[in-house]
Structure 1
Amino acid sequence: MPNKRPKTRAGLRMKFWILLAVLMSGLFVVYDLWLVWREHSQDPVILAAAARYGVEPALVKAVVWRESRFNPRARGKAGEIGLMQVGELAAREWADTERIQFFVHSQLFDPAKNTLAGTWYLRKLLDRYAGTDNPVPYALADYNAGRANVLKWAQGPAATNSTLFIEQIGFPSTKQYVKAVIARFEHYKPIFPPPNTQGAR
């Protein structure tokens, strides 16, 4: 009789830890499913903006991934907002170009408007460096650090050779940003259909 209580307590402890392990496993599964859902939750607006401005949707999605991790309410340290972390100056330039009346920056918390503005700006940057062997690294560096810095780094052969340009990037954070977005761009490419290169600009 005296030995039954310890065995019962040991059994209860074992059941508790088994139940806890099952619950934790379930939580991890739910969290993983939520991450998958979140990563694809903005695909419709990304595809629409990419088609509108003739940018590869995989590139737009890679920028969204890096800028906000698909959080439409994200805020940056310098006032950038939304999925693509669009600043007020770029946002107003987009709104003026598209003749949007009564525009205010906070409207870009809307995912559709944000991806339109951000993709329009990305298209502008890709066109700016169209004379290079690959405008993507230049455009991404400009998106992250601004044109003045890109012009400083794009000296000599690096002015048109994108591989050399990446090595010339003077800010470690920007170099990491460019490499991370390009890697994610390649990761997303198989997911999307070929881009519509005739998209309106």
Structure 2
Amino acid sequence: QYSDLITNTNEELVETLPIKPKVKKSIRPDRNISKINSLDRFDGIINQAALKHGVDPKLVKAVIWQESAGNPRAVSSKGAKGLMQLMDGTAKMLGVSDIFDIKQNIFGGVKYLAILLKKFGGDIKKALAAYNSGPSSVDKYGGIPPYKETREYVSDILDNLKTLFKSDKSRY
């Protein structure tokens, strides 16, 4: 939407040209499939965290790929940070003191994913939806909320599992 600015200068009204509004362009991580191997450098930590919390390491890798495309310094427009895009409050609840520390971020994110999987009886779709939009929204709607972003998020991660890891999508 354009707006006309009118300013009072020396008792005269001067109309300026319409100004284009600033468009906040969200910069999405580069999730080119050919770059998925860039996550291999985190395999040791992913496997440790997955084993500790009983979460499939492939699922963890798919979440990291979707959340940050492997950028440990990623910050979303909503303030989520690190590889697993933890919000400050969630990170604090999980005992993460340095949200950009790769090991702390992964262990915190995997712990949170494990909590959500337990809360939703192992239902991966509900757990992923809760990871994206919060557990209260999944509770409110009794499943994946009708938010486009959340529905696409869940679908994209399941596609990541199938495409990137040649997993059987029906398993999830």
Partner of 2:82: 82
Higher percent of residues as strand = 2
TM-score, length basis structure 1: 0.61
SS of corresponding position for 1:108: coil
Instruction: Out of 114-123 and 180-189, give the one that drifted further.
Output: 180-189
Q: Which structure: larger Rg?
A: 1
CA contact (8 A) 1:39 1:70 kept: yes
Give unpaired runs (5+ residues) of structure 2: 1-31, 168-172
SS of corresponding position for 2:115: helix
Partner of 2:43: 43
Which residue of the other structure, out of 124, 140, 143, is the alignment partner of 1:152?
Answer: 140
Matched, 1:175 2:163: no
RMSD of aligned Cα (Å)? 2.1
Higher percent of residues as helix = 1
Distance 1:146 1:135, change over 3 A: same
State the AA in 2 paired with 1:139. Answer: A
Structure with larger RCO (C-alpha < 8 A, sep 6+): 1
SS of corresponding position for 1:152: helix
SS of corresponding position for 1:114: helix
Matched, 1:135 2:135: no
CA contact (8 A) 1:64 1:83 kept: yes
Distance 1:91 1:64, change over 3 A: same
Shift of 1:151: 1.8
Distance 1:37 1:178, change over 3 A: closer
Partner of 2:23: none
Shift of 1:78: 2.2
Shift of 1:186: 3.3
SS of corresponding position for 1:142: helix
CA contact (8 A) 1:58 1:188 kept: no
Give unpaired runs (5+ residues) of structure 1: 1-31, 96-102, 155-164, 192-201
Aligned mates of 1:143, 1:127 — CA distance in 2:
13
Partner of 1:63: 63
Distance 1:45 1:188, change over 3 A: farther
SS of corresponding position for 1:63: helix
CA contact (8 A) 2:39 2:61 kept: no
> What is the aligned residue count?
135
Shift of 1:81: 0.8
Which residue of the other structure, out of 115, 126, 143, is the alignment partner of 1:124?
Answer: 115
